[in-house]
Structure formats: C-alpha cells, structure tokens
Amino acid sequence: MDEKQRRALLEDEENRNEFAIRREERQMAAEERELEREMAALEVDEEHVKQEIEAELRREHMGLDPERRLAWLNNKRDDH
C-alpha cells in the first residue's frame, strides 16, 4: 500500500468518525427536544392537578380556606 492509498484510508476513516459524531449529536438533540416537550407537558399536567385539588379543597370546606393550606397555595399567595 503506497502513501496515497494509506492517506485516503485515513481520511475515509476520519470522515466516517465525523459522520458518526454528527449522527449522535442529531440523535441527542432530538432526544433533548423530546424530553423538553415531555417536561412541559408534565408541568401543564401538574398545574391542572393542583387546580383540581384546590377546587376540591374549596368544595370540602364550603368555599373557605382549610386550616392547613397546601404548600403550593402558600407559595402562590407569596408570589402575589
């Protein structure tokens, strides 16, 4: 094998490695986007569940705040 063929083989291998890295980067970016979508959906679901729990607490206490408020209700009150 002469120097030109050896150099061509090395360049081919380098190109394959670069393409493999790019493919993995694309897969990781796609996975990151999917995880971000799932996390956003979970946050929406969490907020919906909290609202349902708050509504149930108001029904149970005839529209009044319970003696011991839920932690996120206390935090919500502090935010406003």
**Where in the chain are the domains?**
3-79
Tell me if 57 sits within 8 A of 70, measured CB to CB.
Answer: yes
Output the pTM of the full model.
0.60
Within 8 A by CB and 6+ apart from 79, the residues are none
Residue 76: per-residue pLDDT: 63
Average pLDDT, the chain: 87
Higher-confidence residue of 14 and 64: namely 14
Percent over 90 (pLDDT), the chain:
61
**Cα angle: 62, vertex 66, 68; to 5 degrees:** 170
Residue 80: per-residue pLDDT: 47
Cα–Cα distance for residue pair 57/62, rounded to 1 Å: 8
CA-to-CA dists, residue 21 to 7, 16, 27, 34, 78, angstroms: 21, 9, 10, 20, 48
Q: What is the mean pLDDT of residues 33-40?
A: 98
Residue 68: per-residue pLDDT: 72
